[in-house]
Amino acid sequence: MSDFTVRPARPEDAPAILALHRKVAAQPGGLARRPDEVTADYVAHAMATAADGGGNLVAVDAGGGVCGELHVERMKVGIFTHVLTDLTVAVDPDWQGRGVGSALFRVLIETARTLTPPVGRIELWTGASNLGAQRLYERLGFRIEGRMIGRGRYPDGHVEDDIVMGLMLD
């Protein structure tokens, strides 16, 4: 039995999601955003776009605290409406390695299979150096589909490629 549960995010989770994303963003390699780029407006926008046909999940510990969050949006152009994209996942550093990220993804995949219109694809990007995330995504069924050369530019000036990964549900 795990010491957390996964459920759909609720509007009242926004402050906890904001705090979680800021904490994760402060960790090297935690998120693509810096802590100062994680704002209440960012969280509100992510929650609103996820609510419009995508998904927004939180992992909640036994005390009710948010220890993980995942949001993904549905593409709006007609030929792409079967695609969930722009996925972000954040797991509290104190909870990493305890199955929170895997659980969030499993619930997302299960939920995506029930959405209308049907979802046929979930896609994400991860930094080329984030091998742990790539291994996790591959265990969940995602496949590496490509590489976006020099996509990320860090404050120190170095650039990193992004790895494009996708999961076909059809």
d(CA 107, CA 123): 15
The domain tally of the chain equals 1
Taking only the tens place, the pLDDT of each residue in 39-61 is: 999 999 999 999 999 999 999 99
Inter-helix orientation angle 40-51/14-25, to 10°: 120
Taking only the tens place, the pLDDT of each residue in 103-151 is: 999 999 999 999 999 999 999 999 999 999 999 999 999 999 999 999 9
Residue with tokens 């704002």, as numbered in its chain: 39
Residue 66: give its domain's CATH number: 3.40.630.30
Please name every residue paired with 69 in a beta bridge, in sequence order, or none if there are none.
58, 90
Nearest to 30, CA basis, from 40, 20, 18? 20
Tell me the pTM: 0.95
**What are the phi and psi torsion angles at 2 (to 5°)?**
-85, 160
Taking only the tens place, the pLDDT of each residue in 58-95 is: 999 999 999 999 999 999 999 999 999 999 999 999 99
CB atoms near residue 61 (< 10 Å): 17
Q: Whole domain around residue 21: which residue ranges?
A: 4-168
